[in-house]
Amino acid sequence: MKKAFSIILAAAIVVTMTACGKASGPFQKVRHAQITVKDYGTIKLELDEGTAPITVANFIKLVKQGFYDGLTFHRIMDGFMIQGGCPRGDGNGNSGEFIKGEFKSNGVENPISHVEGVISMARGKKLNSASCQFFIMVGEATYLDGDYAAFGRVTEGLDIAKKIAKDARPVDRNGTIPKDQQPVIEKIVITD
């Protein structure tokens, strides 16, 4: 009995670790995007409409409007994430619209874990305060799971996101980058 319990416990730990250590299995309904960052290159993404349909639709709408073109990555923390998409370049801007947060603490199941390469929506204190700002994980922060709307993952160019993080010189512990040093998002396009 004791041996059987140990085997079951070990299997449960492996399953839990596997679930936490991956972005998730294959996405069910996928769209693709590319972010071209000046002086760095292109980051390719797959967006999971099946898990986060509101978030993906909002992102695609803004991309098609050219909203992100010329904006920057204003908050960067090496080993954690690069955040961009703020029209003010200081983390306080929005698109004029806010969307429902598609994550567990807001009543929405979202199995995408905040591991390296995942793209997720930034938000304020209110659960439904996401608008246009997003972040790409360059490290693992699974403590964000259930509180932020992860909606896709990098398929190519994670090395570019990591280089952006490595090159950044934040002026505080929050990852604030001076405006004249913020990497520029030349263009984001939806490729399908």
Check residue 24 and give its pLDDT: 55
The H or E element spanning position 83 is strand 81-84
Check residue 17 and give its pLDDT: 35
Give mean pLDDT, residues 92-96: 97
Q: How far apart are CA 185 and CA 34, in angstroms?
A: 11
Check residue 2 and give its pLDDT: 44
pLDDT digits (tens, 9 = 90+) for 119-146: 999 999 999 999 999 999 999 999 999 9
Task: Answer whether 0.95 is exceeded by the pTM.
Answer: no
Residue (of 58, 61, 56) closest to 29 by Cα position: 56
- The greatest distance separating any two alpha carbons of the chain, rounded to the nearest whole angstrom, comes to 65
Q: How far apart are CA 89 and CA 85, in angstroms?
A: 8
Share of the chain above pLDDT 90, in %: 85
Give me the phi and psi of 18, to 5 degrees please: -65, -45
CB neighbour list of residue 19: distance below 8 Å, 6 or more residues apart: 111, 113
Q: How far apart are CA 128 and CA 48, in angstroms?
A: 19
Structure-token pair, residue 43: 């980051």
Is the confidence at residue 72, as pLDDT, over 50? Answer: yes
The chain-wide mean pLDDT, for the chain, equals 90
CB atoms within 10 A of CB 172: 8
Check residue 21 and give its pLDDT: 40
SS3 for 155? Answer: strand
Give mean pLDDT, residues 80-90: 98
Check residue 25 and give its pLDDT: 63
Q: Which CATH architecture has domain 2-190?
A: Beta Barrel (2.40)
Residue type, 180: D
Check residue 27 and give its pLDDT: 78
